[in-house]
Amino acid sequence: MDVINNLYIGFQTALTFQNLYLCFIGCLWGTMVGILPGIGPVAGITLLIPATFGLSATSALIMLAGIYYGAMYGGSTTSILMNVPGESASVVTCIDGYQMTLKGRGGAALFISAWGSWVGGTVSVIGLMLLTPVLADLAVKLGPAEMFAILLLCFILLASLGSGSFFDTIPVILIGLLVCLVGIDSQSGVQRFTHGITDLYDGIGFLPVGMGALGIAEVLRSTEESLVRTVSKVRLRELLPTRQELRSSLGPIIRGSGLGFVIGLLPGSAHILSSFLSYALEKKIARNPEEFGTGRIEGVAGPETANNAASGSALIPLLALGIPTGNAPAVMMIALLIHGVRPGPLLISESPEIFWGLVASMYIGNLVLIILNLPLVGLFVKLLRIPFRILFPIIILVCLVGTYSIKGSTFELGVLLFFGLLGYVLRKLKYDVPPLILALIVGRTMELSFRQSLMRSGGSFSIFWESPVAMGLILVSFFLISWNIYRALRPQKASWEKALEEG
């Protein structure tokens, strides 16, 4: 009953004119950034953070979440029509989606993709609504030792399941943790790595680092590529799938929803991993797996459903534990922190309107997106005609003004540019950048938990194995580290590992 009452309150919040409008704007902008290659959901969210400064935290979160799942919807359009993934989770959709376009079934692929995205998105919102309060209740009971163990496991999982290799990701996490320590230590008041620069006393801001390492770095990388494209036209009547296509897509959509939801709870590139795993699963259980890659609807339905389900469930660790497990949730956490709201176990009890307003808006947003994505697909595709050589200076300018607007300091702009360059260099060297941002955001909590644990135990490390939860999590972390060492030393890799790496 509690859930229904709370959801009712959530709908009262989400159905105000302002929040409906913001949800619509978020979904529209999200679809646009999902369609445009070179601007992913992260850049899309960061670009609109400055626009949320005049809004309440609830309204800001509703709009930013709309961008997040809107980009997941929009990302499939370019994959299907142009063989260019709008965002990384749609890479696998290119394989069969584009083949369907070549066969004149691009419209049907778009319809099934939007339908699957709606089902996956709705399943993940139901899971988010039911699981987050339970997880938050459990998290309130955790002490610093358990918190440290959770964050340790989170980083180990991030390194194990991210798009880079384990040993490539660990140093990036370490750099992020080191960067987050800059500023005055909250426990002792000692200045760390500030070198007398007053702008560094409060630490390095999340927004310039996030906008730089994710937004500016993405723009810099995109300017390396040629952006000449051909776009296939889609007519509305071509959107309707045949009865056979509808029947074939039902199973992949159901399996993709479940798989995506579970994978989304894991740290790392969950939405990318979920789409690849869903594709692999569909191919594995298909009667004629050799037909995959020639335009099978299952190759579109499963991955698209899975990545949308994963993007919804990725918000659960953020809202219940205050741990962003992906780059888009990390940027949303930055936005919430700017609004003075700290996501975590106390969020639902202290600010129920934010959580339940978000849940209700996600139901509405999913409906808005299916309405936006089907009839207006032709209009969105026209966006691809805007040359990127005009778009990129505007994106950089928005990042600069967005950063400047927080403190009015050009020092922050320097930080933005420095981390933009660092993010770009790391990408060039094939390193994963999001772990740096995640480490930066939760690093101080990790340090605080570690120090508080030792203070509580009088300096004894036994506190980490006296609690069964902490011990269990630390054991899992050690197991994963050992497994990764074994994988690195083993000369031959399993076929699924090779497929994932190639993907």
Partner 1 sequence: MTKDRAASLLFLCAGIYGFYFSVQLPMGRWNEPGPGVFPFALSLLLLVSGAAWFIRGKRRVKEEGEGENADRYAFIKNLATPLKIVGLTALLILAFNSVGYLAAASLYIFVLLFWVSRYRVVVSILLALSIGIGSWYFFEKVLAVQLPRGVLFL
Binding residues for partner 1, rule: CB under 8 A, are 50-51, 53-54, 167-168, 170-171, 174-175, 177-178, 181, 185, 187-188, 190, 192-193, 219-221, 223-224, 387, 389-390, 392-394, 396-398, 400-401, 404-405, 408, 410, 413-414, 417, 420-421, 424-426, 428-431, 447, 450-451, 454-455, 457-460
| Angle at alpha carbon of residue 262, lines to 260 and 267, rounded to 5° | 95
CB of 221 to partner 1, least distance (A): 8
- Beta carbon of residue 230, minimum distance to partner 1 (angstroms, whole number): 21
Length of the chain measured in residues = 503
Nearer to partner 1, 63 or 318 (CB): 63
How many CB atoms are closer than 10 A to CB 109? Answer: 34
Alpha carbon distance 243, 57 (integer Å): 44
CA 281 – CA 272 distance, rounded (Å): 14
| Interior/surface letters 377-395, b for 16+ CB within 10 angstroms, e for the rest | beebbebbeeebeebbeeb
Query: Least Å distance between CB 323 and partner 1?
Result: 18
CB of 413 to partner 1, least distance (A): 4
Q: How far is the CB of 76 from partner 1 (least distance, A)?
A: 28
- Give the phi and the psi of residue 184 in degrees, each rounded to 5: -80, 130
CB of residue 331 vs partner 1: minimum separation in angstroms? 19
Nearer to partner 1 by C-beta: 21 or 193?
193
Nearest CB to partner 1, comparing residues 223 and 349? 223
Structure tokens at 206: 């999340």
Q: Residue 241 contacts by C-beta under 8 Å, 6 or more apart in sequence?
A: 108, 111, 112, 249, 297
Q: Are 392 and 48 in contact (CB under 8 A)?
A: no
* Closer CB to partner 1, 171 or 503, in the complex: 171
Nearer to partner 1, 235 or 389 (CB): 389
Of the pair 242, 460, the CB lying nearest partner 1 is at 460
Beta carbon of residue 178, minimum distance to partner 1 (angstroms, whole number): 5
Closest CA to 374 of 184, 236, 201: 236
Give a three-class secondary structure readout of 338-350.
HCCCCCCCCHHHH
For 490-503, b/e burial (b = at least 16 CB within 10 A) is eeeeeeeeeebeee
| Residue 183 DSSP symbol | E
Considering the complex, state which of residue 8 and residue 167 has its C-beta at the smaller distance from partner 1.
167
CB of residue 3 to partner 1, shortest distance in Å = 37
Nearer to partner 1, 273 or 415 (CB): 415
